[in-house]
Amino acid sequence: MTRPVLALDLDGVIHPNTSPWQNVYTLPDAPTEGAVDFVHYVRASGWSVEVHTARANAPNADEAVRVWLRDWGFPEMRVSHVKRNASVYLDDRAMRFNGLWPTLTQLEAAGVPWNRTA
């Protein structure tokens, strides 16, 4: 039986990304509160968890992300810039399509991360 897959976005989800941007290899913030426990809980519940980040498109940046994850106590996870098939995607700038096309106002609101003001 195939385990369900949770695809987690890095910046804005696991890494709050509140410090000024430096480069793809530097993750200056501590994990979002509860992130480490959440990932361990989901995995213990039988899910596979993967990290998706545009950072990983740069040479060796996926390894920088793995080091940050390991340093903060996350379990080993696949890190990639390629969005593979998953059961659920958890992202800070996402909108669920419900069969109705959103308005521009709804699109703009969906593009503002939870930890930033419009």
Express each pLDDT in 79-95 by its tens digit.
999 988 999 999 988 88
Amino acid 94: pLDDT:
85
Q: pLDDT per residue over 11-36, tens digit each?
A: 999 999 899 889 999 999 999 999 99
Q: pLDDT per residue over 56-70, tens digit each?
A: 999 999 999 999 999
Amino acid 10: pLDDT:
96
**CATH fold for domain 5-110:** Rossmann fold (3.40.50)
Collect all residues with Cβ–Cβ distance below 8 Å to 78 and sequence separation of at least 6. 50, 51
Per the model's pLDDT, the better-predicted residue between 111 and 80 turns out to be 80
Angle, alpha carbons 53-3-44 (nearest 5°): 85
Average pLDDT value for the chain: 92
